[in-house]
Amino acid sequence: MKLLSKASAVVVVLLASVPLALAISLLLVPFWKWVEEQSGMESYGHSGPAGWCYAVSYLGSVVILAAVAYRARQLSARRGVES
């Protein structure tokens, strides 16, 4: 049962990261434009940020949400709450 709980937490983190990454990518448009100007690497086009920008935002979202979930599990284990 513990494995199922951990697997469901992983799925929740991965799925919750999708809309968060989309929002972060769109909020970072000025940053993506700056990256393109400074590096010459295509970061922002006529249809929005490049695919790699979304991927970077997604990976960042996964790391942040996984850290939050891990910390929440640690705190609940200290309190004796079974997750």
For position 13, what pLDDT does the model report?
94
- The mean pLDDT value of the chain amounts to 90
Would you place residue 81 in the very low, low, confident or very high pLDDT band (cuts 50, 70, 90)?
low
Mean pLDDT of 15-35: 96
Q: Which run of H or of E encompasses 4?
A: helix 2-27
* Residue of 24, 22, 23, 16 whose CA lies nearest to 62: 16
pLDDT in tens, 8-21: 889 999 999 999 99
- The model's pTM: 0.83
